[in-house]
Every structure is written in C-alpha cells, then in structure tokens.
Chains A and B, each alone.
Chain A
Amino acid sequence: MDSTILAFLIQDGVTSGAIYALLGLSLVLVFAVTRVIFIPQGEFVAYGALTLAVLDVGRIPGTLPLLMGLGIAAFVFDLASFRQSFRPQHLITSALVNLVLPAIVYGLVVTVLPMQPGPIVRALLAILIIAPMGLYIYRVAFRPLANASVLVLLITSVGVHLAMMGLGLFAFGAEGLRAQPLMRGSFSLGFLPIPAQSLWIYGATIAAMVGLYIFFERTILGKALRATAVNRLGARLVGVRTNLTGGTAFVLASTIGAISGVLIAPITTIYYDTGFLIGLKGFVAAIIGGLSSFPVTAVAAIGVGLVEAFASFFASNFKEIIVFSLLIPVLIWRSLTTDPHEDE
C-alpha cells in the first residue's frame, strides 16, 4: 500500500467519522436528556439527504406534506391534552408551532424552488423541512411516555424508526438518490486532493460542535438540558419542564440528522433505508462514549470512520461486521469496569 492510498483512506475515514461524530453526539444528547435510545436518528439523515436530492431536480419532496401531517398530528395531541387543563395562551402557542410553522416552511419551499436556487439554499431548505419533525415526533410518540422505563422508550423508539422508514419509502420510493455537491472541485493538500464537499463536512461538523458547546455552556436553556441530564428531579424543582428539554433535545437531534444527510447526500447514494446503518455507526461511537461523554464519542466516531475506511479497502465484504465488532471489546470492558448497582 503506498502513501497515496493511505492518505486517501485516512481522508475518507475522517470524512465519514465526522458525520458519525455528529450523530453520536446527538444520540448522547437525546439519551442524557430524555433517556430515549434514539434509533430513528438515521432516518433523519436519510430524510435530509433524499429531500435535498429531490429539491436538486426542482421537485417538491414528499417530506414536505409529511411535515404538515406530523404538525397536524402534534396539534391534535395538544388539543386532546387541553381537555385536562385549558389556557388560551397554550392553544395559540400550539397552533403557531404545529400548524403555522410547517405552513411557513411549505410556503417558503414552493415560492423559492421555482426560482432555481443555488445548492446552498437548497440544502438550507432541506434542513428546514426536516428539523421541525423532531419536535412533532417527540410530541406524538415520546412526550406521553415521559415517565416510562428506558425499555418502553426503546421499544417506542424502534416503532418510530420502522414508521419513519415506511414513510420514507412512501415519500421517496425504493430508488437510491444522490444530490449535487454543495461545491464542485477539490483542493490539494500536498499530493492529496481533498474534495470541496469533504471540506464542507469538516467545516459543518466543527461549526455544529462549537455551536453545541456554546449552547450548553453559555445559554440558560442549554444549561437546563445539562441539568435535566444530571438530576431530573432537581431540574423540575427549579421549574424546568420535561416537555421543554425533551422537545429541544429532539429538535437538535433532527437538525443534526438533517445536516448530516445534506452533507453526505452528494458523496453516497442514499436509499429510504440507508439511514439506519449510518445511525448505527454513530451509535457505536456513542456506546463507546458510554452514552454520556461527548468528547469520547467524538473521538470514537473518527475511529469508527477510519476502521470502516480501511476495512472497506482490505476486506470490503466484512466492512460492517468489522465496524460493529468494535463494540464487543468495549462492552466487555464496560461490563467489567462499571458497577451494575450504580444507578436505576
């Protein structure tokens, strides 16, 4: 193996690793705040990627009506809960968030799309369509179960994953799609050409991590999310509503998923069911991080990306097996070092 191939594999591994890092962080975040093991994380990636690919050819993606439908469903759930306690203010907020917001996104897409916007605008539209879905899915599937056990939440999570995959098939069909790159061409780093799209991926990943860092360290809402993760009862006692932190965590997750999808859409062909496998690799990283450590997860994700790149070069048939086998030593090590009576 010469150094060009080596450099190429490293570059390839770091590129996918960056995406897995984003997804891993999102999984850690959702689990810490809501105790949900977020299996559908990958579906948001597929939705984001496929939405962008459809926008690229100037058509309205099926995820746009889906967004409206999810918003209406969330609104109906709110209406049902108003039977217990009703305040006009809550009805207005609910209508704004669940009905007006998707309507605005819809209006924006059908207005802007015929003007043949550039790739960056299309990418932003795709993110805008997918991001609010996290909130509605939280409202419909998870918020009613706020006090359920981790196992019940996990089963729900699998259900949501299957439902979203089915809806993905319905919205996009079984064909694979690939989007146009945000920017064409490549830069050369010494002898190694780095595609512009990879630079976008590095840049967006770093920007997202810095953004999350600032959110968690500097804003009171970010601190409230951390507080909820550290001590659920303590957070309620200072007036932090579980609905607020849960909804925020899910919106962050869907946004991160959509961003990841938009970033990888030009470099891989995505099918309605591709998201699951991508999400799982983020999951491997998150597990290595113990579903709690952001830095360990990020580093592990880069490792997963590298292992995957080298495995696909040397033993491409066993690529996935090799990646998921990484979990075995980690799980053994964890089971030996953690005290099972620690909590819960």
Chain B
Amino acid sequence: MTAPLLQLKDIRVSYGRAEVVHGISLEVASGSIVSVIGANGAGKTTLLNATMGVIPSSGTILYRGTPVPHSVEGRVQAGMCLVPERRELFTTMSVEDNLALGGFLRTADERRETLEDVYKRFPRLKERRTQIAGTLSGGERQMLALGRALMSRPKLLLLDEPSLGLAPKIVAEILGIVSELRSTGVSILLVEQNARAALEISDEAYLVELGEVRRSGKAAQMAADPELVESYLGGGH
C-alpha cells in the first residue's frame, strides 16, 4: 500500500493561550475526497489553515510521505493549494489577472494552457474575464477562487466551505465541479458545514467537535449513522 497523499498526526493549534485544535489526526488517500464536517466553531478552518501553513501548529504534517515544506509558498510549490474561507481574491484586479496569478509558479505556456481548461470548466469566468473581481456575485467569486486554485495545477486541494453563503442551486453546481475534479487526479480535503452535501461527494469523512475528531469512516456509512443524522444532518430527508 502506498503512503497517503496527506497525513496529519496529532495536530494542535492555539490562538494565544487558548488551544482550539486538540490533536487531530487524519489522512487523505491519493485520488480521494475527504470531508471534515462539524458545527460552526469546531476548528475546521483552523485545521485547514494549519495544514497550509498559514498559521503555526504542532504535530506532524506529512505530504507524499515526507514532512511538508515550512512556508505556505513552499507548500504551493509542492502541489498543495488552499481555497480559504474568505477567498482572499485580488478584488481590485480583473478575473483574468486573478487566474493568471493562480499560476504564478507555472511557466507562461503552462499558464495559458491551464487558463483554457479553467475557462472550459467555468464558462461564466470566461464571459467575465475583464470584470474586476470585487464586483462579482458570491457564486462567481467562489468559482474564481476555485479557478485560481486550479491554475496552480494542485495535487491536493484544501477547500474551506466552498458552499458558504451560496444559493442551493449554486451549491450543487460547485460541489458537482469539486466531485468532477477528483477524476482529473486531484485529491481534495473538503471542509463543510453543509454536511449532507459534503458526504454525498466524499469517500471518507471526519466529524470534528470542539477541536477533536469525534467520529470517522466511509462517507456513505457516516451519512447513514443515526446519531449523526440526528445532530448534523438535520433529521430525516
């Protein structure tokens, strides 16, 4: 068996003196979608930011079997890419410039090629290529954030609540795209409050409560777990 693409071992994160992630371990196998679900404030965003190196953490992060590079930029270069909760787009720049910058570490030829792929996946971004990113709608911003991440040709995507604040129809569209990405060989660690939608497209899932993993397993089994259905999936269908 080959090593998982990403392994987190006993990750702890503190803000000042308050520890909010208390030793989380999880794995993302190559070519899979793994979701982390849990209530608001459980520590999901903190965990994802620590994985990307945006905030410091203790514990071990192995990427392709070896310790991850120290800096955020080093991790991007190694093929990791975070779509953060707040998107962090370049709001005063055009859609196309945002996308181009996503491929900053790539050659000009690779950037041109990948841009075509991203436009094929998100025709709406192509229509709005000259529009200033700050003037996009919520759904379009989310597409741009995803598109910008894809421009780096990542092997591992870390997605923080891609459905946050979006209308149900657009949520389905975005998660559909996420699930398609897996077939292109990208592995995904997905953080979602929208647990039902996340479990539908995931292979594995972890339930996080108050900074600890409460439960984990196959996504399909988790979705059928009566206790989970009760407290996180909003009862029956």
Within 8 A of B (CB), among A134-150: none
B88 / chain A contacts, CB cutoff of 8 Å: 231, 233-234, 237
Partner of A223, one of B81, B84, B93, B151: B93
User: What total of chain A residues lie within 8 Å of the partner, measured CB to CB?
Assistant: 17
A239 / chain B contacts, CB cutoff of 8 Å: 73, 76-77, 104-105, 152
**Complex alpha-carbon distance, A335 and B73, angstroms:** 37
- Determine whether the beta carbon of B97 is less than 8 Å from that of A223: yes
In the complex, the chain A residue whose C-beta lies closest to that of B77 is A239
With A227-B93, A230-B93 as known contacts, state yes or no: A237 contacts B104, CB within 8 Å: no
In the complex, the chain A residue whose C-beta lies closest to that of B69 is A85
**Complex alpha-carbon distance, A240 and B71, angstroms:** 11
Within 8 A of B (CB), among A219-269: 220, 223-224, 226-227, 230-231, 233-241
- Determine whether the beta carbon of A226 is less than 8 Å from that of B73: no
**Complex alpha-carbon distance, A239 and B74, angstroms:** 7
Q: How many A-B residue pairs have CB under 8 A?
A: 67
**Complex alpha-carbon distance, A231 and B90, angstroms:** 6
**Complex alpha-carbon distance, A223 and B96, angstroms:** 11
User: What total of chain B residues lie within 8 Å of the partner, measured CB to CB?
Assistant: 29
Within 8 A of A (CB), among B90-127: 90-93, 97, 100-105, 108, 111
With A224-B104, A227-B93, A238-B76 as known contacts, state yes or no: A85 contacts B70, CB within 8 Å: yes
Chain A CB within 8 A of B72 CB: yes
Q: Interface SS of chain A: helix, strand, loop or mixed? A: helix
B108 / chain A contacts, CB cutoff of 8 Å: 220
With A220-B108, A224-B104, A239-B104 as known contacts, state yes or no: A230 contacts B91, CB within 8 Å: yes
- Determine whether the beta carbon of B52 is less than 8 Å from that of A238: no
A223 / chain B contacts, CB cutoff of 8 Å: 93, 97, 100-101
Q: How far is the CB of A220 from chain B (nearest CB, A)?
A: 6
B84 / chain A contacts, CB cutoff of 8 Å: 233, 237
Within 8 A of A (CB), among B188-233: none
Chain A CB within 8 A of B170 CB: no
- Determine whether the beta carbon of B101 is less than 8 Å from that of A231: no
**Complex alpha-carbon distance, A237 and B51, angstroms:** 12
- Determine whether the beta carbon of B100 is less than 8 Å from that of A226: no
Residues of A within 8 A of B (CB): 85, 220, 223-224, 226-227, 230-231, 233-241
With A224-B101, A234-B88, A234-B89 as known contacts, state yes or no: A240 contacts B73, CB within 8 Å: yes
Name the 7 nearest CB pairs between A and B, nearest first.
A234-B88, A239-B76, A239-B105, A230-B90, A236-B72, A227-B90, A241-B73
A237 / chain B contacts, CB cutoff of 8 Å: 52, 54, 72, 76, 81-82, 84, 88
7 A–B contacts from the bound complex (CB under 8 Å): A230-B91, A237-B76, A237-B88, A238-B101, A238-B148, A239-B73, A241-B71
Q: How far is the CB of A329 from chain B (nearest CB, A)?
A: 27
B72 / chain A contacts, CB cutoff of 8 Å: 236-237
- Determine whether the beta carbon of B101 is less than 8 Å from that of A220: yes
In the complex, the chain A residue whose C-beta lies closest to that of B111 is A220
Using A237-B54, A238-B76 as known contacts, list a sample of 17 further A-B pairs with CB atoms less than 8 Å apart, ordered by residue number in A.
A223-B93, A224-B104, A227-B97, A230-B90, A230-B93, A231-B88, A231-B90, A234-B88, A235-B101, A237-B82, A238-B101, A238-B148, A239-B76, A239-B104, A239-B105, A239-B152, A240-B101
In the complex, the chain B residue whose C-beta lies closest to that of A236 is B72
- Determine whether the beta carbon of B70 is less than 8 Å from that of A234: no
In the complex, the chain B residue whose C-beta lies closest to that of A224 is B104
Q: How far is the CB of A223 from chain B (nearest CB, A)?
A: 6
Within 8 A of A (CB), among B55-79: 70-73, 76-77
B52 / chain A contacts, CB cutoff of 8 Å: 237
- Determine whether the beta carbon of B101 is less than 8 Å from that of A227: yes
Q: How far is the CB of A344 from chain B (nearest CB, A)?
A: 16
B89 / chain A contacts, CB cutoff of 8 Å: 231, 234
**Complex alpha-carbon distance, A238 and B88, angstroms:** 10
Q: How far is the CB of A101 from chain B (nearest CB, A)?
A: 24
**Complex alpha-carbon distance, A224 and B81, angstroms:** 17
**Complex alpha-carbon distance, A231 and B144, angstroms:** 15
**Complex alpha-carbon distance, A241 and B54, angstroms:** 13
**Complex alpha-carbon distance, A145 and B90, angstroms:** 24
Chain A CB within 10 A, most for which of B70, B72, B84, B148: B72
Chain B CB within 10 A, most for which of A230, A239, A241: A239
- Determine whether the beta carbon of B91 is less than 8 Å from that of A231: yes
